[in-house]
Structure 1
Amino acid sequence: MWRRAASLSSLIFSSSQPLRDQQGAYSLKAWKFFCADSSKGAGYFSKEKNLFITFVLGGPGSGKGTQCAKIVENFGYTHLSAGELLRREIASNSEDGAMLLDTIKEGKIVPSEVTVKLIQKEMESCGNCKFLIDGFPRNEENRIAFEQIIGAEPNNVLFFDCPEEEMIKRVLSRNEGRVDDNIDTIRKRLKVFAASHHPVIEHYSKKGKLYKIDAIGTEDEIFERVRPVFAACEGAQ
């Protein structure tokens, strides 16, 4: 089994086969190096007796980030955002970050295995065993990759159920200066979310792991609907 080298650049210059194609895009070979199993190997986390994973799903403006902060404060979970991990890797100016940036600039989707490996690396290094994984999985491919690479399923899945018009109002009122925070783009993002997340939500609903949270109300009111889910989990562990 491949072990990840200290730097992707050493692989680029030592490999007998090119890791970029003629247009300069990274090849599948490069992605395989990036996704090589860590020394602990796939399935490492499934051996951790106290590991507890919660996926947190919800459309833009559903309030899941705010509620994650409250869960962390009250129940001691580590909050991992898949999008933030990708942005951090890109900002690090590492070889891996350059690969991710090239992929995004080309309008391509970052392979699920890459995102999962970043999540895995963070889980291994943080010293906690309770995780909130926010905004992931985005689709069935993400879900399958996570379960295969980590070797574990989530213990439960939160879905913040919020009407579309309410999410639009919240995103527009955030005033974060994001270029995609306009009504047309938000509506498109919500349509993509609904289409891609529906199979994931259905999958975990059938397995009895889904908790649908009414995301209308004040932050504290919504958290009072979230709290019993985690209080019950604390008692079961």
Structure 2
Amino acid sequence: MWRRVTSLSHLLSSPKSSPQLTPTSYGPKIWETLSTEVSKKSGGGIFSKERSPFITFVLGGPGSGKGTQCSRIVETYGFTHLSAGDLLRKEITMNSENGAMILDTIAKGKIVPSEVTIKLIRKAIESAENDKFLIDGFPRTEENRIAYERIIGAEPNIVLFFDCPEEVMVKRVLSRNEGRVDDNIDTVKERLKAFRSLNLPVINHYSNKGVLYKIDGTGTEDEIFERVRAVFDAWK
């Protein structure tokens, strides 16, 4: 069971601070209430009377540690991890209808059309038995966000933003040696440029909505995860 806690104020004003959360009791039926509200808004599909998934968006620049921390969240809290990037790369390897377009777009450090990514996310949610999801690396733009809410019919329950200096992110990406088409210095610079210009409005939007939690993405994997735990332990 997950319940809402008091949101943090001024999350973007202190880039190095991690959330200090104080759980607030909303009574035993808070999750039922939240689920009903989402169901009414969507009118069916993924969100219905029978099913109301708990959605967490995970945002941050390339190399900010999103994927690593998502693995820890999955292991500790039982979420299903949906990486927008991994879903797109899977389409490339499958030689699907959109595979060539996706490959060309990613190789240039650009953003794949929203409808393509959302279709893959929705398919993954619908085919899963779990009802707790981490959607990693999406939405990357305001257009992504608006399209997601229009197509899916609901907003995320919470949003994690991993805040990390660019020099740290570049070093991490270039050292991970995973053979990805976008893991080179020129593409990384393009991705960081796109992140700076396009992702900040999304982050500010969710901060204003009171659902964004900023995580200091520097330090060891364990140190960062302790900051993440503060968020999820308060929601349980």
* TM-score higher than 0.5: yes
Distance of aligned partners of 1:115 and 1:181 in 2 relative to their CA distance in 1, 3 Å threshold:
closer
User: Is the aligned partner of 1:156 residue 2:158?
Assistant: yes
Could you tell me which runs of 5 or more consecutive residues in structure 2 were left unpaired when the two chains were aligned: 1-41
Name 2:6's counterpart in structure 1.
Answer: none
SS in 2 for 1:80: strand
User: Is the aligned partner of 1:119 residue 2:129?
Assistant: no
Name 1:69's counterpart in structure 2.
Answer: 71
- Is 57-66 or 178-187 further displaced after alignment? 178-187
SS in 1 for 2:97: helix
- Is 46-55 or 133-142 further displaced after alignment? 46-55
Does the 8 Å CA contact 1:42/1:148 hold for their aligned counterparts? no
Does the 8 Å CA contact 2:91/2:98 hold for their aligned counterparts? no
Name 2:176's counterpart in structure 1.
Answer: 174
Q: Superposed, which structure 2 residues align to 1:123-138 within 5 Å? A: 123-138=125-140
**Aligned residue-pair number:** 191
Does the 8 Å CA contact 2:54/2:132 hold for their aligned counterparts? yes
Cα displacement string for residues 195-214 of structure 1 (whole angstroms, at most 9, x for unaligned residues): 11011001000000110000
* Bigger proportion of residues as helix: 1
Instruction: Please give the TM-score of this superposition, normalised by the length of structure 1.
Output: 0.74
Instruction: Please give the TM-score of this superposition, normalised by the length of structure 2.
Output: 0.74
Could you tell me which runs of 5 or more consecutive residues in structure 1 were left unpaired when the two chains were aligned: 1-40
SS in 2 for 1:67: helix
Shift of 1:124: 0.7
What is the CA RMSD across the aligned residues, in angstroms? Answer: 2.2
Distance of aligned partners of 1:88 and 1:184 in 2 relative to their CA distance in 1, 3 Å threshold:
closer
Shift of 1:171: 1.5
Name 2:39's counterpart in structure 1.
Answer: none
Shift of 1:105: 3.8
- Is 82-91 or 128-137 further displaced after alignment? 82-91
Letter in 2 for 1:45: I
SS in 2 for 1:45: coil
Question: Whose radius of gyration is greater, 1 or 2?
Answer: 1
* Aligned partner (choices 184, 187, 190) of residue 188 of structure 1: 190
Aligned identity (percent) is 69
Shift of 1:176: 2.7
Shift of 1:216: 0.8
Distance of aligned partners of 1:109 and 1:55 in 2 relative to their CA distance in 1, 3 Å threshold:
closer
Name 1:8's counterpart in structure 2.
Answer: none
Does the 8 Å CA contact 1:43/1:150 hold for their aligned counterparts? no
Higher RCO by CA contacts (8 Å cutoff, separation 6 or greater): 2
Shift of 1:179: 5.1
